[in-house]
A and B are shown apart, each in its own frame.
Chain A
Amino acid sequence: DIQMTQSPSSLSASVGDRVTITCRASQGIRNDLGWYQQKLGKAPKRLIYAASSLQSGVPSRFSGSGSGTEFTLTISSLQPEDFATYYCLQNNSYPRTFGQGTKVEIK
Chain B
Amino acid sequence: EVQLVESGGGLVQPGGSLRLSCAASGFTFSTYSMNWVRQAPGKGLEWVSYISSSSSTIYYADSVKGRFTISRDNAKNSLYLQMNSLRDEDTAVYYCAYGGYGYWGQGTLVTVSS
A interface vs B, CB < 8 Å?
A: 34, 36, 38, 42-46, 49, 55, 87, 89, 91, 94-101
B100 and A91 form a contact (CB under 8 A): yes
Question: Are A91 and B101 touching (Cβ within 8 A)?
Answer: yes
Min CB gap A20→B, angstroms: 20
CB proximity of B100 to chain A, nearest CB, Å: 6
Is A46 within 8 A of B47, CB to CB?
no
A98 touching B45, Cβ below 8 Å? yes
* Contacting pair B45 A89 (CB below 8 A): yes
Number of A-B contacts (CB under 8 A): 47
Question: C-beta contact mask, B84-98 vs A, less than 8 Å → 1, else 0?
Answer: 000000000001000
Contact check, A34 vs B62: say whether CB atoms are below 8 A apart: no
Q: Given contacts A44-B45, A100-B44, A101-B44, are A95 and B59 in contact (CB under 8 A)?
A: yes
Flag whether B61 is at the interface (Cβ < 8 A).
Answer: yes
- Chain B residues near A (Cβ < 8 Å): 35, 44-47, 50, 59, 61-62, 95, 100-102, 104-107
A95–B47 CA distance with the chains assembled, in angstroms: 7
Do the beta carbons of A34 and B100 come within 8 Å of each other? yes
Q: Give which listed residue, A43, A94, A101, contacts B104 with CB less than 8 A.
A: A43
* Candidates B61, B101, B106; contact of A89 at CB < 8 Å: B101
The minimal Cβ–Cβ distance linking B5 to chain A, given in whole angstroms, is 12
CB <8 Å contact, B44 and A49? no
- Minimum CB–CB distance from B56 to chain A (whole Å) comes to 15
User: Can you offer 5 A-B residue contacts whose CB atoms are under 8 A?
Assistant: A43-B95, A94-B59, A96-B35, A96-B50, A96-B101
- Docked-complex contact B102 and A96, CB < 8 angstroms: no
Closest to A87 in B: B45
Closest 7 CB pairs of A and B: A96-B47, A43-B104, A94-B59, A98-B45, A101-B44, A46-B102, A95-B61
Shortest beta-carbon distance from B98 to chain A in Å: 12
Residues of chain B contacted by A42 (CB below 8 angstroms): 106
